[in-house]
Structure formats: structure tokens, C-alpha cells
Amino acid sequence: MKASEVRRKFLDFFKGVPRNHLEISPAPLVLENDPTTLFTSSGMQPLVPYLMGEPHPSGSKRLVDSQPSIRLQDIDEVGDNRHTTFFEMLGNWSLGDYFKGEQLPWIYEFLTKELTLKPEKLWVSVFEGNIQVPKDEESVRVWRSLGIPEGKICYYGVENNWWSRSGTPEFMPVGEIGGPDSEIFYDFGEELKLHEKSIYRDEKCHPNCQCGRFLEIGNSVFIQYQKVGENNLQELPQKNVDFGGGLERITAATENTPDIFDIDLFKPTIEKIAEFSGEKYIDSENKEIMRIIADHMKASLFLIANGITPSNKGQGYILRRLLRRSILKMQKLKDGLNIDTPVDDVSYNAVISSILEVYKDSFIDYKAKENDIQNIISEERNRFGKTLTKGLGEINKIKNIDGKIAFDIYQTYGFPLEVTEEIFEEKGQKLDKKEFEKEFEKHKELSRTTSAGVFKGGLVDHSPEVVRLHTATHLLLTSLRKVLGDHVVQRGQNITHARARFDFPNPEKLTEEELKKVEDIINKVISEKLPVKFEILPKDEALKTGAIHAFNEKYTDTVKVYYIGENLENSFSREFCGGPHVVHTGEIGRVKIKKQEKIGSGSMRVYLVLEKG
């Protein structure tokens, strides 16, 4: 079954009677009002306020969507048969409406009736309970009633069957929400074991043993708790359901293939990689390399399409890491990392086109941005080529290699361990891998600590500074269009309490005169203290108002239009937006465009700040 068919069946199933869910638009990969996290990594992330009780703008308590996501926790596992950094998460939610008794039978019906998965292939897991939260007996009763035998119901603790954005309860900051979950696994059969390395290799095979026999295809999270103290969880006033199932994994299950890279979302890209390299995917070493290239290139081009450009910090750093790793792998696959004969733009562009072609009929159609994507990747590849040359120069200066030096090379120049090994084996030196792994683990622990700190703020940032700057970006976009023309649209945006970063297409930087005009227009509207209002309209009616929107995004039938002025028809600014905003522009205070920079071919970035005083 094609992934597009699985996606459509899921959305239609939950929109149909008696489930009656409302399909909502997916959020962008970078949430404009959430400086607490780098990327949208799950469907629930933009829905936190509504899971906590705030009414959804649509008025519905039942929602469904397919959310493009970036998740970096498993980046070092990419290369196996089931892990990716970019994926689509099929999701349905109950905002204090139905609960376990409805959710579990519905998702079981979807998998076994709509997708015709064999019931005997399914295993489930439930929360075993702890001192704070009781054993999930209710889910067990429901699964038994659906015919899941006791031998295929597995019990796990918080490491496996608890979900929140920031992990297990001890890592949840005060204010964060989460709860126990019940996962569904597809069993490819006892005879299948893809990986010799298994964290449970000395135990009997079971759904979480990571051997390759089982594939998690769905997770029903019961968000019913909030952390209110260091070791204290409290039940939320409303009990919520948050289901997430990876589209790629579910599609693989429908085809009974344990390798998600065999499905139609990856196959054309794998074929292009094999074509330019002259290698075959069936070779085990090639499989790992080709999977990494296919995943990292896909994640990279979707990040670029969402306005991210390679840099040394934040989202840009992650993009650079993904791109450079895929560049190294492509080079190694073709010529064994012979940088004197680099892979050409034609090969890269063929891979990019194959990815965009797969998604051309979906809500993440970025075909119109193909040239921009190609140019940015080409620029980064050329820049990285110089870094590689420097790195090889440094390696040649090293007389004796050890694990720490090898890790420093990996960190600084992006050299994979196996490449460093090959270079020094030619010099007659053997690298101590254990020392490298020790340094690598220290780095991973630091990364985990940093990632946990990202959630220190808990929920989506609705601080006064962020709200003021968010409204100011609406004024910025309209002012840029007045000064430069209607070609200006939002290509990317990120807001913190200190500044708003705004990306848009323009052939060159603004002149000082143009910058001043934009700034003056914004501050004039602020001084007029115009009201900021919104209307919830049918999509077609909202489009007729001339409200600015993302042209490559799919919207649901009902949208929220924020406008600045006394009425929608004569407003200064009108945009499709979810909020939040100030009540009137006077609350913003004066703003200043702090700086501007060119971030790629035909792309500019400006930084907007609130003036003090």
C-alpha cells in the first residue's frame, strides 16, 4: 500500500462517523512561538494549550492530522531498518472528550479493518505502574476484549510506556504534561532477527528488544497528568488522548517489510543514490550508507523549505550536521572519500528532485522551492569541501592517533570514525575504539542535558515579550511588502523573548533608506494603537479577504485570520495565524530592525527587537 493511501485512510477514518474528528493543518517544522524547542517533533507539541484545557479555535474536541516532524534523539540509529530523523506522524486527539475505551478499539479497527493487518501479527504494551501512577488495568481490559491474548500484552515501566515532550517523569519540568501510554507493535515473525546487537540479547525476544523482529506502529498516550512539584504529579482536570503513529512504519507493516526504506517514500531516492554511485542497495554496508543519505537529505531539504539555512547554532547547526553527514556518505559511496573527485551538483539535484517528486501531491509539496533548495545545498557542499581539505591537512600532521583525538577530528571536521581509522591503518596505527566511544558517550550525555534544559520553560512561550514581537512580525511582513513588493512572503520565522528573526525572498539586501522606511511604517502603526482582532472563517472565504498565507501548506476547512485595524476589510495587516497577539499595537512599544543578512541565493533575514525604555 502506498504511503499516500495510508495517510488518506487514516484521516478519513477518524473524520468519519461515529468518530467525527476535525482535520487540522499540520504545524511548521519550526514553531514560530516556541523558543523552548528546536523543531516540531510530534503532533501534540503545538496542541499543548488545548490539552491543558484552553478551547481549540475550531471549537472541536476531536482532532486529526498528519504532522511532519524532526526528531534527533535517534540520529545515531539512522542507518538501520526503521529509524529516521524526518517522518510524518499520523495523530488523533481527544481534548477531554473520549478516553481509553474508545481510542484503543478505534485504532485497532483502523489497523485490522482499514489496513487489513492480520490481528495475529499485533502485540501491545501497557504501563506497569509505579509509586505515583497505578498499573494501566483499563487498557489491559480493553485489549483483552478485542482479542489480544495475554501472551501478547507486555508490561513496561516509565522508560518504555510513559510519554511527555521531555521524557520520563523525573526529567519533566514543573508545568509539563504527560502520561502512561499503550503501544502497538507489528511482528514480522520469530524467524526474523536483523540485528545481532540487542540491548535485551540475553533475554527472550519481546517487542522492545530492538532485534528487528518487532516494529512499533502506534502509541496511544493518555495525557492525564501534570508535574506540579519536584516529585509530584497531579491529574489534569481533563483526560486527553494523544495517538501517534509513524506513517513510514505503518506503511511498511502493510507491505510486511521490516525495512521502511523499501516503501514508496524512500524507494525512488534509494534508486537515484544507487544510480549515481554505481553501487547496489542489497549490499549490507551500502544499505546503511544509502539509508543515511536518503533520510538526511530529506530532512535537510524540508528544513530549508521551512526557512532554515546552515549555520553554527540552533536549527541551522542541525541542518549543517545533517547535510555534511550526507555529503560525506555520498562521497564515500561513490569514490571512497576521494575529495579530488567530488560528487557533482547533477547527482545531488537528482536526489533532491526524487524526494520532492514523491511529495508533490501531498500537503508538504515543496516543488516550487526546488531551485532555492538546490542552491543552498550546493553552497554548503562547496563550503564543506574546503573544511574537508583543512581536516585532511590536520590529520596528516598527527603522528599518533588515540580515541580522544579521533573524536576531536569527528567534532571539528565531521570526519566519521571509520574514515579516520582507514587513514591511520595505512600508517600502521590501530585506533582504540573504546576510547572514542567513551568520548562520544560524554558528548551524548552533554547533549541530553542540554536538550532537557530546552524544556525548562515548560510550555509554548506566551511571555509578554514573545507575544509583542509576534504581533510586530505581522507589521514587519506588511511593511516589507509595501516597501519592496508583493513578492515578499514569510520563508521562516523564529521568536524569542530577545528578538524576532524573519526570513523572506528578495534578490539583495535592503538599502539604508528602505530599512528606515520599513521601520517607520511599523512604528507609525504601533503609535496609532490599532486593535488586533481575529475571525474564524471558512478557508475559501478567508482566502477572498486577501489574508497572507503559506502557499505550499494545506489548510483545513476552517482557519483563523488575525487582522490589525478596526475591521477586516480595511485592516493594515491580515494573516492566517493561530496567535497569540497583543490587544492593540500600542502594547508592542517601539521596535528597531537590529540587523539584516543574506542567508542564501535570493533569501534575506532581518532581526527585529523591542526598543528599551
Q: What angle do CA 411, 70, 376 make, to 5 degrees?
A: 65
Q: What is the mean pLDDT of the chain?
A: 86
| Residue whose grid cell is 517544522 | 29
Instruction: List the beta strands (DSSP E) in 294-440.
Output: none
CA–CA dist 467, 500 (Å, integer): 10
- Averaged pLDDT for residues 189-214: 67
Per the CATH hierarchy, to which homologous superfamily does domain 464-610 belong?
Answer: Threonyl-trna Synthetase; Chain A, domain 2 (3.30.980.10)
Amino acid identity of residue 486, one-letter, is D
**pLDDT band at 448; cut points 50, 70, 90:** very low
Domain boundaries, given as residue ranges, for the chain: 3-260, 261-454, 464-610
Q: How far is CA 340 from CA 17, 264, 336, 387, 592, in A?
A: 62, 34, 11, 13, 47
CA–CA dist 19, 136 (Å, integer): 24
pLDDT over 90, % of the chain: 48
Q: In 3D, which of 112, 110, 143 has the Cα closest to residue 126?
A: 143
pLDDT over 70, % of the chain: 90
DSSP letter at 151 equals G
Q: Grid coordinates representing 394?
A: 590536520
**pLDDT band at 452; cut points 50, 70, 90:** very low
The answer, yes or no, to whether residue 213 has pLDDT greater than 70, is yes
Torsion-angle region of 195 (φ positive above 0: left; ψ -120 to 50: alpha; else: beta): beta
Q: Residues 259-314: pLDDT tens digits?
A: 999 999 999 999 999 998 888 898 777 899 999 999 999 999 999 998 889 887 77
Q: Strands 232-246 and 492-495, how do they pair?
A: unpaired
- Averaged pLDDT for residues 114-135: 96
Q: Grid coordinates representing 539?
A: 478557508
pLDDT of residue 339: 61
Q: Grid coordinates representing 161?
A: 510506556
Tell me which of 141-145, 444-448, 490-494 is least confident.
444-448
- Let me know: does 210 contact 198? Beta carbons within 8 Å: yes
Amino acid identity of residue 528, one-letter, is E
Global pTM reads 0.72
The answer, yes or no, to whether residue 450 has pLDDT greater than 50, is no
Amino acid identity of residue 212, one-letter, is G
Q: What is the CATH number of domain 3-260?
A: 3.30.930.10
End-to-end distance of the chain based on CA atoms, in angstroms? 61
* Bridge partner list, 596: 606
Residue 437, burial from CB neighbour count under 10 angstroms (0-12, 13-18, 19+): middle
Task: Mention every residue, 6+ apart, whose C-beta is less than 8 A from residue 186.
Answer: 117, 121, 122, 214, 215, 217, 249, 253
Q: How far is CA 441 from CA 196, 419, 448, in A?
A: 21, 19, 10
Sign of the CA dihedral running 329, 334, 335, 341: negative
Phi, psi values for residue 195, rounded to 5°? -125, 125
Sign of the CA dihedral running 328, 355, 257, 120: positive
pLDDT of residue 453: 37
Task: Mention every residue, 6+ apart, whose C-beta is less than 8 A from residue 9.
Answer: 110, 114, 115
Element containing residue 554 per DSSP (H, E): none
Q: Residues 509-528: pLDDT tens digits?
A: 999 999 999 999 999 999 99
